[in-house]
Every structure is written in structure tokens, then in C-alpha cells.
Structure 1
């Protein structure tokens, strides 16, 4: 177990017959992180998370959480872990508060935890409404409130924004982002939504067909995206000829001149040079590879997430 690592797996694998659902995955989730576990549907995300909770038995490999072996210390580990896997479980005929009270008895926590968890997910004003009358987003928040009830050191969430509208996604995103700093909770969440991981995670693991293809800080992943400058002028042919004399090497793309690896100073100088030569610069845009483009490069497959 590395220093400050909350979750660490080694050669974690799960086979169903001859099919490798998860193949020798080495996860490293550091304390205080929001770790985004990213991959297409069917990539092995949920199976991996279930193995971390002891809900699925690995075919091979080891799991260490809080520095302890899951095989030997599962009750102790789960006491410090909250989770929401696949979809929230609740009793529809009970109110939100009554559902929380059921979970309170199971987790043996004080009343103040119930009130605080409902406040965090903004359900305090809806706690007396039956859960079956909740919107999809409210049901998801109730599930997260149940997972937060014991204020765990580790929170594991499987596709927490799945099926939500944009407003609901924004609410869950802001909630999750607040947990490490406000409550000292390390978050491990899975998603197939690249944009969500990009906005919320501090670290990321990319899994495809059961194989972990990338793991590291979001900054490291973003550095794989080299920006390009797209330039449009009143006379691209003349502009290209003049810029070649100055050492620039544009590539024509439709009605644009495209430049790689330019810094801001280069762009300013190029703009000034063209204007001084009576060529109107009508548009300058910076294009960066999206997280999806980077994902496709890492996996080497043009596949939908």
C-alpha cells in the first residue's frame, strides 16, 4: 500500500467463463481525491466497484482499502465506506426521512447524521414526501444521502449522474466536488460521460474491455491535448505565402490555416505581421483535443462511449 493510498488493487481480475470482464487492473486512489473511473458501458467499471465492496468475488488479484486486506477485514472496511452502485435502493411507500431512518438503524449512527446528510443533498425540505413521488434526481440524491449517512472516509459511486437532466447533473456534480474539502471524504466514481469526469475529477483511470489503459492526474491527461491555432484571413493564399517566409508552417484545412505548437507571443506577432501587410485577419481560434479525442487515442478505437 503506497503512502496515503485509500484504495489499491493488484492484478484485479474477474472472469465469467472465458470472458475477461476485468483484466489485471491496478487501481491507486489517493486520500482526498475525486477519482474518475472512466470507460464505455460494459468496460468493467461496475464489476470492479462491486469487487471493491466484496459484492463480487475476484477471479484473481488483491484488494487493499485503508491499508487493510478486503478479504480479511471486510466488515471494518465497509464500516468506513459508503456506496451507491447502479441505482439507489429505497422503499417507495416510505418518506425520504423514513428511508433514512431505516438506514440509520443499519449503520447505527446518531440522528444528527440523518439531518446533515439530507441537508448536504438538499432534501431537507422534501424529507416528508414519499420516495415514490420523488423525481429521478431526488431519488439519486436520496441514494447518495444514504451512502453519506455514516460520513465515510471513502465514497464509491457508480454512474451517479446517469439518467439525470442537465440541472440534476449539475447538482450532483457540485455536491461531489464539495465532499473532499468539506467532509474529508475520498470519492471514487465511475462514469461513461467524459465531460463529467473532466469537470469533477482530480485523477482518472480509463478502462476499456476490462483493461486499465491510463491512470493519473487529470492535468497529466489534459497535457496530452496539444492546442492548434486556426486562422482565417481575407486572402489565405497570400497569407500562407507570407507566413512561410517568417518560418511558420500552416496547414490548409477548408477555409482555415492551421498552426501547431504556437505560444501566445507567436499568435500576436503573426497577427500583427499580416495586418501590416494589408491582409485582414477575420478570425483566430484555439482548438484543443477534447477528452473524448484523447480517450480514443489512448484506446486506439473509434468507439462510442
Structure 2
């Protein structure tokens, strides 16, 4: 799979202060990736370097293979972005704001209406942007960002100013862009629930360094959950047990680790599954749902607090 973004050993100093300290991560084409960290961790500075607004002191950033510093026009032609707060011309109408972008890229009016409708701002295109709420300005900025049909969309705190219904709508929009237009999305947010709902991977930054890159378990539409089977020492061999487990209807063995077997099955089938194990002479010491969420991972990284993510049955 080709890389949409490659951030390679990037440093950034302002005067004598080093704020970004050897950051490296990459994003595959088509991925939706979250960027998480507390205020001052370096999220916005990193995003500004990725979008060519500021230059790295050292290191390299590539967008679809093009160096952001050496080939800015080639790199940025793939990118749509909202950095920090939405920037719109308040004395212009919504349509006129979008037309500024359309003229630069020689985009027709029909595309303006299409993008505006996509983000739900088409009804207000004739109004001056100064009359827009912050949430409406956020939608307008997003419409401007996707007007060029970018291959990569970079969003810095896009849910700021949105009410709960607006946040839900934004989630649907981003999912639609990812699914229908195959857009690669990189999203920085303090809203961990939204990151968990939208993203398949999360990059954690702390004090200007990448602390962790974590793949998120994909939420199953059919109601499947992850469970861990902990075996007794006198149980059968793990390889034998996995063969037994696979005979149970609607179960998938995800991984094995020592005396632990992680499985995926429908939540309402857990007691049937346990009975099946006992009937097949599988000696189980513990059985629990794997429920670690993004919030618990965040707390481990940024407060040192170790939370229990296991619930026994």
C-alpha cells in the first residue's frame, strides 16, 4: 500500500526552544488516522509543518512521495486542510468564500453547490459569513477544504463549535469521504470518542515526541465483541483448543498469547460459548470482555494511571 504521508525524524525549534523532537510516523493511502495529545504537545505545530505553513528545522515530510519543503506545489495539490480555527472572509457570502478557491483551481459553480450540499451548508450560501454561527463557519471551511477533491484531508480540531448533532453529521461526512471518495484523513482532536468512532489508527504525541502509534479495533456492525479466554495450566494445548473453538458457530480466533486466547463473537452468545468450552473439556480459569478504550490508553500515556480494562464473568 502506498504512503499518503511520511513524517521522518522531524524537529522544530523556535529560537532556542525545541518543540518537536524527532517525530516520525506514516499514513497509508485511504487510512483515517487520529492525532492525539494534550495542549502544548506539538499537534498543531506538526500539522503546520505537514501543510507547509512552517518549515521543519530538520527532517523530512512527504505527501504522496513529494517533499513538502522542496516540492511544495506538488505536495500541496493533494491536500485539503483546516488548521486551528476556520478561516473565512466574514464580509463575503458563503458562496463567495468558496468561489475564491474555485477560481484558483478553475472549478465550476456546480462543484461549489455539490460541496456545500455535502456538508449541509447549501441553504446559507447567499448569507454573509459574519452571520454564520461557529458551527456553520466550520462547515463552510470543510466545504472549502474538500472543494478540490483532495486525496488527503488534514483537520485540526474540526468539532470545535459544533453541537452534538453537528458532531454526528461531521462523523458521517468523514466516513462518507473515506468510503466513497477514498480520501485519506488525518484528524487532530481532543474529542476521544469521535476519534475512536472515526479512526482506524491513532498517533499519540507527548512533549514533542511520538509516544505511541496504536491500531484501533474496528467496530463490528453485527454486534461482535472481543473476549479473552484464560486457560488453566492443566488444559489442553492451545493449538488443540483453537481447533475446538473454531467449531463453535460465529466465533473467530483473533490471537493467542501464552495461556490467553482472544476471540471475537456476538455478545449475546458468550454464555453459550462458555458452555460449549466446558462440554468440550476446555478448562477455563477466566473469561472476560476486552474493553480497553481510547480514553484509558490516553490516561495511561498522559497521567501514568494504569486502568483496569478487563471485566470478568
Name the residue aligned to 1:192. Answer: 190
Q: Which residue, 290, 300, 304 being the options, matches 1:301?
A: 304
Greater RCO between the two (CA within 8 Å, min separation 6)?
1
Q: Which residue, 151, 154, 168 being the options, matches 2:152?
A: 154
Local SS of the residue matching 1:155: strand
Name the residue aligned to 1:170. Answer: 168
Unaligned runs of 5+ in 2: 219-225, 229-259, 264-269, 276-287, 306-313
CA deviations 1:196-226 (Å, max 9, x no partner) are 1101111211111111111142129xxxxx9
Cα separation, 2, equivalents of 1:15 and 1:289: 36
Q: Is the 8 A contact 2:5 2:62 kept in 1?
A: yes
Aligned length: 258
Name the residue aligned to 1:5. Answer: 3
The structure carrying a bigger helix percent of its residues is 1
1:61 maps to 2:59:
yes
Cα separation, 2, equivalents of 1:176 and 1:295: 23
1:208 maps to 2:211:
no
1:291 maps to 2:289:
no
Report the TM-score, using the length of structure 1 for normalisation. Answer: 0.75
Deviation, structure 1 residue 27: 1.8
Deviation, structure 1 residue 261: 9.0
Q: Is the 8 A contact 1:41 1:192 kept in 2?
A: no
Q: Is the 8 A contact 1:21 1:44 kept in 2?
A: yes
Q: Is the 8 A contact 2:62 2:75 kept in 1?
A: no
CA deviations 1:34-90 (Å, max 9, x no partner) are 111111122111100100111111111111111121222101211221111011111
Q: Is the 8 A contact 1:227 1:289 kept in 2?
A: no
Cα separation, 2, equivalents of 1:65 and 1:299: 29
Q: Is the 8 A contact 2:196 2:216 kept in 1?
A: yes
Cα separation, 1, equivalents of 2:35 and 2:48: 13
1:119 maps to 2:122:
no
Give 1:85-104 correspondences, 5 Å limit. 85-104=83-102
Q: Is the 8 A contact 2:12 2:56 kept in 1?
A: yes
Report the TM-score, using the length of structure 2 for normalisation. Answer: 0.74
Greater gyration radius: 1
Cα separation, 2, equivalents of 1:48 and 1:132: 30
Unaligned runs of 5+ in 1: 221-225, 229-259, 270-284
